[in-house]
Amino acid sequence: MANFLNYRNVAFKLEDKNYYATKVSLSAKANVDPVILNDGSLLNYAPQSSVVGSLSTDFYLTGALPDFLRITGFNESSITANFASVTISNVYPKSISFSVEPFQPILISAEFDWYGNVKVEDFTPNTNEDKNNIQIPSYFANGYRSSLTTSNLEGVDKILSFDYSASCERPSFFHINDIIPFRVAKLNRSLQLSLKSNDLGGILDIDGKNVNSTVSLRDTYGTVLDTFSISGILLSQNYEVSEGQYLLASADIEQTVTQNKTLV
């Protein structure tokens, strides 16, 4: 008989902490190329690298994000995820993002790479005991009280919405005969902030414009759940108006996060 798992019976955890996810996606991809002989015939298909898995989820923010989800931090360690009672080891966070709009609940979107083997045939639903023991939060981040403050940028008191994201590249390094990497690095760490407002002041100049911004995510009671800072460059501005609408301005801010190294 087929085993059907529904949304209510599937739990998602990162490092043994429950996350109130609205969506979880798990996939794997083999990197295989054809081997062509000089006479044009196909010899075989050969792996070019290890199987790389992808894990993504959208979840409600109910408190401060853990350090391992601080994408631009310098901790490269793997974490463990648990999905439908199956443990997924060697999971590496690589991006998070969220959008803030008036009166809307805030969902955090996170993406990960993973390596190894996952026994999807072992997916099982939560037991009734597990479901009864899950504590449902009474609050979560909402655009009603959340805010964005900036320096050196006009019109921030008239912001209509904004999007924040943090990302990095996760190249992997292997020993001979291993399929699990001994290191998954963090390269090209960056932060992005896009916002829409009624007015953003004068146009940027040839050097862009230095902007320091802080995002405060709050619940409907005004309690700060987490803050996100970006100290970057205003790269673009756009002004647009259409029939029946007001003039809207949008801007994109980006920060490249670097790490000082000791030269021997």
Residue 263 in domain: no
Look up the domain containing 109 and give its range.
Answer: 7-256
The answer to whether 149 and 156 are in contact (CB under 8 A) is: yes
Give the residue with greater pLDDT, 16 vs 205: 16
Confidence of residue 7 (pLDDT cuts 50, 70, 90): low
Task: Give the residue from 165, 149, 155 showing the smallest Cα distance to 249.
Answer: 155
Residue 264 in domain: no
Share of the chain above pLDDT 70, in %: 88
Task: Extract the tokens encoding 156.
Answer: 């921030």
DSSP codes of every residue in 202-215: SPPBTTBEEEEEEE
Q: What average pLDDT does range 169-193 have in this prediction?
A: 93
Distance of alpha carbon 87 from alpha carbon 27, whole angstroms? 14
pLDDT surpasses 90 at 5: no
pLDDT surpasses 50 at 90: yes
Residue 210 in domain: yes
Residue 2 in domain: no
Give the residue with greater pLDDT, 175 vs 4: 175
Global confidence as pTM: 0.87
pLDDT in tens, 222-258: 999 999 999 999 888 888 877 677 778 888 999 999 8
Distance of alpha carbon 163 from alpha carbon 4, whole angstroms? 36
pLDDT surpasses 50 at 2: no
Q: Indicate the SS3 state at residue 157.
A: helix
Confidence of residue 4 (pLDDT cuts 50, 70, 90): low
Residue 23 in domain: yes
Residue where the block lists tokens 């391992």: 68
Q: What average pLDDT does range 72-84 have in this prediction?
A: 91
Residue 61 in domain: yes
Residue 261 in domain: no
Residue 169 in domain: yes
Confidence of residue 1 (pLDDT cuts 50, 70, 90): very low
Residue 214, strand partner residues: 149, 229
Confidence of residue 50 (pLDDT cuts 50, 70, 90): confident
Structural domain count of the chain: 1
